[in-house]
């Protein structure tokens, strides 16, 4: 297996984004990105700035009520020099859930996924208003095990990071010279106070080596079984909607 070269891949990413916009959008179309302050949105935004220029990249910060780590999002937009907007989705989520409760008790899945879908609705509203394309910020590791919300953060018009593992995204972020605290920020779901890895029961490093065929996890059969099960159960998130075909 060939060694991952962050410098080469960074250049390829920039050229890919530039080509996508040249082929599918107007000359002044903007990239609209939800800025969480984590490595994925940081790297995706930085790539878009290099490809399009900072004037054509719009960051949207979408806290749900009080977000303790919102300063990371602000650090990124200031570092990149991009225009940004802050839309607090807290009242929208609360209003929707209040209305839903009149008809049915929201499940934990609904509580977790609804904010992500409201955020995606917000991004597409901005894109519609300014003539933009929504940038998906999911990476391969998260996609592999379904650690995303269908029609939420799993949606978008282009996905620059979806073939890169967490380990590789971090290397790209370092190569692009992004602030260390953004690229190496420990990911959390923002709900239960646990990190992603604590929720998953294994590290991204283990997952990434398994995905790339560097470790068959034979010494951790329980983790291999869990990863395989999650991957199979969540493949529907990566597929086009099945449709009936008229014969």
pLDDT at 191 over 60: no
User: Is 165 part of a structural domain of the chain?
Assistant: yes
CATH of the domain at 32: 3.40.50.620
Tens digits of residue pLDDT in 118-148: 999 999 999 999 999 999 999 999 999 999 9
User: Is 208 part of a structural domain of the chain?
Assistant: no
Q: Return d(Cα 123, Cα 179) in angstroms, integer.
A: 25
| Structural domain harbouring 128 | 6-187
Contact 146, 140 (CB under 8 A): no
Contact 97, 130 (CB under 8 A): no
Number of domains present in the structure of the chain: 1
Tens digits of residue pLDDT in 42-89: 999 999 999 999 999 999 999 999 888 899 999 999 999 999 999 999
SS3 15: helix
Tokens read off for 41: 């949105």
CB atoms within 10 A of CB 63: 18
User: Is 215 part of a structural domain of the chain?
Assistant: no
Tokens read off for 108: 């934990």
User: Is 47 part of a structural domain of the chain?
Assistant: yes
Which parts of 103-192 fold into alpha helices (H)?
108-130, 140-145, 166-175, 180-183
pLDDT at 231 over 60: yes
């Amino acid at each position: 297996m060939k060694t991952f070269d962050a410098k080469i891949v960074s250049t390829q990413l920039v050229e890919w984004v530039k080509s996508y916009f040249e082929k599918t959008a107007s000359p002044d179309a903007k990239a609209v990105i939800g800025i969480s302050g984590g490595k994925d949105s940081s790297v995706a935004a930085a790539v878009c700035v290099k490809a399009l220029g900072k004037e054509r990249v719009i960051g949207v910060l979408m806290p749900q009520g009080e977000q303790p780590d919102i300063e990371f999002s602000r650090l990124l937009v200031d570092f990149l020099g991009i225009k940004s907007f802050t839309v607090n989705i807290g009242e929208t989520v609360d209003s929707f859930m209040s209305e839903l409760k009149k008809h049915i008790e929201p499940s934990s899945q609904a509580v977790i996924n609804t904010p992500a879908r409201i955020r995606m609705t917000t991004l597409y509203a901005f894109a519609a208003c300014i003539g933009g394309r929504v940038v998906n910020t999911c990476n391969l590791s998260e996609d592999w095990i379904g650690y995303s919300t269908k029609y939420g953060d799993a949606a978008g018009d282009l996905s620059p990071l979806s073939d890169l593992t967490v380990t590789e995204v971090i290397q790209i972020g370092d190569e692009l010279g992004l602030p260390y605290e953004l690229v190496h920020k420990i990911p959390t779901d923002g709900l239960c106070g646990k990190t992603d890895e604590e929720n998953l029961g294994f590290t991204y490093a283990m997952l990434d080596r398994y995905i790339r065929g560097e470790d068959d996890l034979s010494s951790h059969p329980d983790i291999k079984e869990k990863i395989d099960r999650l991957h199979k159960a969540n493949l529907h998130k990566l597929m086009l909607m099945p449709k009936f075909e008229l014969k």
